[in-house]
Amino acid sequence: MDTLTIGSLAKEAGVNVETVRYYERRGLIRQPDKPSSGYRHYSREEVSRIQFIKHAQDLGFTLKEITELLSLRVSPKTSCEEVKEQAITKIQDIQEKIQTLQSMKRTLEGLVRSCENRAPTSECPILETLNTGEMERAHR
């Protein structure tokens, strides 16, 4: 059986050693027993598992959601429909974030338009709005 040390695993998976340890603590990958030689050995399957985790993160899934996806992935009773539902939920979350970001952008654009470049910072509408928290006023 071909095994890897934690450093080799991290390198092949494209992450650092601390990421591997973090995933172990979160239960995303299995921590092998420590033999008397002192070096834990990981299976090559862990490389694929870490890459799966990283790809899911790239699509916006949280580690909690990834844990759920991993459990669905290994369950013989799971259908693709269940995974699809997870993806649809993630799409809805992303859409909400996009709307929030667009609103933030509009607010900042309004603040920038209201700013007179040469005014002292004591009269800066951007700083004043941040200080008072009156973001709605900035949309005008």
Claim to verify: residue 104 and residue 130 sit in the same structural domain: yes
User: Are 21 and 69 members of one domain?
Assistant: yes
Based on the fold, state whether residues 88 and 61 are members of the same structural domain: no
Summarize pLDDT for 29-65 with one digit per residue, the tens: 998 888 877 788 999 999 999 999 999 999 999 999 9
Domain that holds residue 7: 1-78
Strand, helix or coil at 4?
strand
User: Computed from CA positions of residues 83, 45, 50, 67, in that sequence, does the dihedral angle turn out positive or negative?
Assistant: positive
CATH code, 33: 1.10.1660.10
Q: What is the pLDDT of residue 140?
A: 47
Which pTM value belongs to this model? 0.75
Q: What is the pLDDT of residues 70-94, one digit of tens each?
A: 998 888 888 899 999 999 999 999 9
CB 125 within 8 A of CB 111: yes
Task: Note whether 56 and 47 are within 8 A (CB).
Answer: no
What whole-number percentage of the chain has pLDDT above 90? 61
Q: State the CB neighbour count (10 A cutoff) for residue 14.
A: 11
What is the tally of structural domains in the chain?
2
Q: Is the CB of residue 44 less than 8 Å from the CB of residue 14?
A: no
Please work out, in degrees rounded to the nearest 5, the angle formed at the alpha carbon of residue 57 by the alpha carbons of 51 and 63: 100
